Amino acid sequence: MLRYWTAGESHGKTLIALVDGFPAGVTVDTDAIDVELKRRQGGYGRGGRQRIETDKVDVRTGIWHGVTLGSPIALEVVNRDYKLERLDDLPRPRPGHGDLTGAMKFLGSIRGVLERASARETAVRVAAGALAKQLLAAFEITVFGYVTEVGGERIEPIEGTLDEQRSIRDQSELYGLNLDRDPAIKALIDRTGKDGDTLGGIIEVRVDGVPFGLGTHAQWDRKLDGRLAQAVMAVQAIKGVEIGMGFEAARRPGSQVHDPIHYDESKKDTPNLGYTRPSNNAGGLEAGMTNGQPIVIRAAKKPISTLAKPLESVNLDTKEPVEASYERSDVCAISAASVIVENVVAFEIACAVVDKFGGDSLSEMLGRYEMFLKMARER
């Protein structure tokens, strides 16, 4: 079983991800992980914290001469803005954060909750996902995330190859797939910031090169769509997830939802084994398993909860009405969220690949993968 845990606080000394069950024999490119960490810090509408931090990964355990050993891998991202011991508590809980609920749950401080609840923790989730992508690359599986909506303004993707779309996304300050939409949406973010408000948006992630049979129908907690939904919903500020057509499928008759099955002999040597679909409303998943089509998953991110013009709150000591506390924050972090969601999806796909094809070493997994494809073609 491939899995990971994280540790660390927003303004603590460091952040750590401990990855367990990662197969031996994978060459680790830390520069590629650092690229993802830098992307997470970018995007239009970010706050001052990103000018302080310069996130880079340090692989502390689990590799020898740059190659994984099969033992636990500790990934560290150090906080340059370490000041936790100098910070005071917040007396006024902020609506939308875990301030009030956490203080009540633990019968303690708001600070003790907000430091761990902060999205700063996602830096090492991105590092873990970027490591997982290096395993997926051996199977020619790619994971690609981008922004499709900001504050109700749609960014219609420009069609193109994966490389063409990646080039567009990487030129965009919004991480969208239509550069013509950037100026208007950046202006919207600027106006929103001047009003002391914040914006959310919608992210889409596409996974290509996926074979049949990742996940299973046999138990509810092993269905891949459920595991993906949990991983994405566990990202801070994500309030909704849909796969494929998603909620729109509930509004249409079955004949307009389900994807017909065709067979193309010329594609039998691809991961879809020649079974093609004229549509992909299922988003690559049926009965909790991959069906050989691209996985498509979307996430809805709420606006950031910390407002420069605070909402009404209550002083926890006096119980008197007050404005909520304010701490340094972003106006819009949807671009960063797209990087986070992309990488948590990548890690879950890697988990499913390890589950399906064994996990002691990469060479063993690749052998089992090729054997599975051969047997499936002959079925």
- Annotated binding residues for FMN: 116-118, 236-237, 287, 302-306, 328
Contact indicator for 76, 62 with CB cutoff of 8 Å:
no
Which residues make up each annotated binding site?
Answer: 40, 46, 116-118, 236-237, 287, 302-306, 328
In whole angstroms, give the CA distance from residue 39 to residue 297.
20
**Can you point out the beta strands (E) in the chain?**
3-7, 14-20, 58-59, 63-64, 67-68, 73-78, 142-150, 153-154, 201-208, 212-215, 238-243, 262-263, 275-276, 285-286, 289-291, 295-301, 312-314, 321-323
Cβ count within 10 A of residue 130: 28
Which residues make up each annotated binding site for NADP(+)?
Answer: 40, 46
In whole angstroms, give the CA distance from residue 307 to residue 330.
9
Distance of CA 173 to CAs 22, 168, 306, 334, Å?
33, 10, 22, 11
Give 210-276 as a DSSP string: PPEEEE-SSSGGG-HHHHHHHHHHTSTTEEEEEETTGGGGGGS-GGGTSPP-EE-GGGTTSTTTTEE
Residues linked to residue 331 through DSSP beta bridges, in sequence order: none
